[in-house]
Copies of this chain bind each other. A is one copy, B any other.
Amino acid sequence: MNRDVSIGIDIGGTKIVAGLVTNQGEVLYKQIVPTATEGKEHIIFQLQQLINNLLKEANKLRLPTLKGIGIGTAGQIDFKKGIVRSGTSNIKYWNDIPLKQEMQRLFGFPAWIDNDVNVVALAESYLGAAKGYDNVVFLTLGTGIGGAVIQEGKLLHGEWGGAAELGHMSVDRNGPECNCGYNGCLEAYASGTGIANQMKQYLIKKPELYDGSIENITARDVFQWAYEGKQHAKSVLDDSMDALAYGTVNIIHAFNPSLLVLGGGIIDQHNWINQDLQNRVRNLGISSLVQSVSFAKAAFGDEAGVIGAAYQCFLYSKNVQKEGASYEG
């Protein structure tokens, strides 16, 4: 098999990772910079510098002509048009940016841009935990909850790329308000922020159980207290897992996947969640659907974003060639 190489860029709230990535998922070279906080022009300037550095390095390494530039970024992405529609609270002024076009104009390479969870799903699908599976759902549990769906081997984008907002699936219409404005979202129960908030609400009602500062409680505290056997924390985590199980069953009913891949910081740090979730899910919902799903942990760690971002180029550049377009320099 030929070793193709692309540029992959993972734009997160705190850092931007840019790398030269092979179609086998090797990261040959990478650079990391803290995400600019002054707005979009600054981030685009950072991308320019990073890509220039990578191009020099590719030259030094005598790599073949690069296949393109693939970008994964937090926020809502119009995949077809290649536009960042609206970012996230983590990246300031990161909205209404025709990033695909801008990258193509600046560097003459074909470029693709997608949501950060979608590109992680590509990495896992073609090179990681979901290799060989055609119908897969990905859930990442971190500060928030992200989702991505592979249907018949392809990322599910919906009309403009906004599909698979699985963290914002409500499992209780009378439940707590989520950051997104909706109620009872999975993210409001089972993300890092959600777990911390639920613990705070619990202790506000029973202040006699805690003499510290309730505002400063984090999900890490809740997990720690639960490991120490503290009942209030165990009770909050049990409720978070119950909500997560209902959300997962809803997702299985909607997509009929054969594999569910769990990733993100919370999953990495708390191994028991995968098995606990499986046990709960198998006792809920429509048996033929919930029983036909396997569970797996994401195979890639930190580099999943940059690998998946780059993988877009290997996957989609064939179509570019088919359509007769050629941006390769």
Using CB atoms and an 8 Å cutoff, list the residues of chain A in contact with chain B.
76, 85-86, 134-135, 149, 151-152, 156-166, 168-174, 180-184, 242-243, 246, 249-251, 253-258, 284-289, 292
Contacts and interface: CB of A to CB of B under 8 A. Distances in A.
Nearest to A182: B285
Given A86-B288, A288-B86, A292-B159, A253 B173 contact: no
A159 to B, nearest CB: 4
A181 B156 CA distance: 29
Residue of A157, A249, A250 contacting most chain B CB atoms (<10 Å)? A250
A189 to B, nearest CB: 10
A254 B164 contact: yes
Given A181-B285, A286-B180, A288-B76, A159 B250 contact: no
B242 A165 contact: no
A62 B174 CA distance: 61
25 contacts: A135-B158, A135-B159, A149-B254, A152-B157, A157-B256, A158-B257, A159-B258, A161-B256, A162-B256, A162-B286, A162-B288, A163-B254, A163-B255, A166-B253, A166-B254, A168-B253, A170-B171, A170-B246, A172-B172, A172-B174, A173-B242, A181-B285, A182-B284, A182-B285, A250-B250
